[in-house]
Structure 1
Amino acid sequence: MTDIVIMGAKGRMGDTLVRLTQQSDDLNLAGVLERSGCEEGLDSLNCVCGTSPEEVLTKVPGAVVIDFTAPAVTLKLLETAAVTGNPVVIGTTGMTNEELAQVEEFAKKVPVFLAPNMSVGVNVLLKILPELVRMLGPAYDMEMTEIHHNKKVDSPSGTALKLAQCMAEARGLVYDEVKKHCRDGIVGARTKDELGVMAVRGGDVVGDHTAYFLGPGERIEVTHRAHSRETFAQGALRAAGWIADKKPGKVYSMADIF
């Protein structure tokens, strides 16, 4: 039985994680956190409740914390977990390179699992897309689109960035040097190596990602559509059970589980 702590327990993802943890025979909901002013009703979950990592983690030693919040909140959580020793599963997106470097530093002190998308399908795409890039060759232009609900705060999505990065690397390119997150006005013809990533926001879309390979006389589109947040939540819970007995030293990912 793995003890679980859920960050942002009343949010869209947090609520799903709480429900699935309670339904599991292998997991125990040991604690929940929510920001101050939003914690009302959490005591009905019959577990440790609080508004700060310090308040909760000291009461649930060894419990795995699952976090789908915001970069600043995640880093604060890791700061506490590095002291208490609680493993952390991170689904937070929108982190800068500097913030990711901080995550790597914390991972030297406490087990950390990080994945911008925890669905099995997306992580299979991360294996397949590089092979497609190599087989098609440089005659095919590469682009990416992603669609998410109108409440999403970061853009492009962490999943789109991860997929686009793996495509760029497969062609021997440095993503930050070829990325195009915005095209507006007279920008000139598309350069040979650039890789555009366009974000669409609206409605309650859980997450759609399409990789395009546009070549002479044809194009290939590879699309992943998430129908429910449970897809990501189940992946996070699987990661939590997996990392519970792992040692610090690296940032673990879905590739390590596979």
Structure 2
Amino acid sequence: MLSALLLTVATAACVVAHPMGADLEARQGGPKATVYSSCKNKGDVALTFDDGPWEYLQVVSDTLVKAGAVGTFFFNGNNYDCIYNAAEQQRVKYAYNAGHMIGSHTWAHKDLTTLSWDQIHDEMWRVEQALQRIIGVTPAFMRPPYGNYNDLVRQVSYARNQSLVIWDFDDGDSTGSSVAQSEADYDKALAKHPNSMLSLNHETYKTTAYQVLPYAISKLQAGGYKMVSVATCLGLQPYQHVGKPGTPDATWKC
């Protein structure tokens, strides 16, 4: 009797943490998550940083904080390194405790448009679980790797209560732009006096952290823009749930 009850509880917990299978297969063709590619609030700029946590996170965070700016970090679970490694956990905590917004960039940075319903869920829930464990939050926003998504990705995101975030400006750090090119691209974009900006950057690039970011911040502030989180620039909440971090154990691994 007791063993049956424990099995029922454990099964229910797994369904909540990892809602995959026939029940969710039936939702295919159903509601789709909202996709945001620009800020709603005039004068807001959301500087976002993909592919971490990695070694340049601290300098990116410190540069933002020094300027009175807030950034948004979209984290992977197992891309450049395992998020459960001690150094990576500390980086996640460092960004969160500095007041930056934390979002999902999926577990292993796979192109979600090539995956099945269950595989997309797996890519999403594993990094959500990691963030719940490390800093106690469940993100309300997900950035699909490479910016690639289709209806199935949007359906899974809706089922997981997450919106998708793309961008309307790319500083080119991941596609081979030099520092001079990235700076020129910021100049060109700001010369058009946009109402707002949702900027794609990568905290895995040294040039972004040490050169392009300080330049961009100075130009944005000179233009009268306020650098805020993605959630703030959209007038939404950053997290589905905020609770207490967990205690590391043998299950915290990639």
Q: Report the TM-score when normalising by structure 2.
A: 0.33
**Larger relative contact order (CA 8 Å, sep ≥ 6):** 2
Structure with bigger strand share is 1
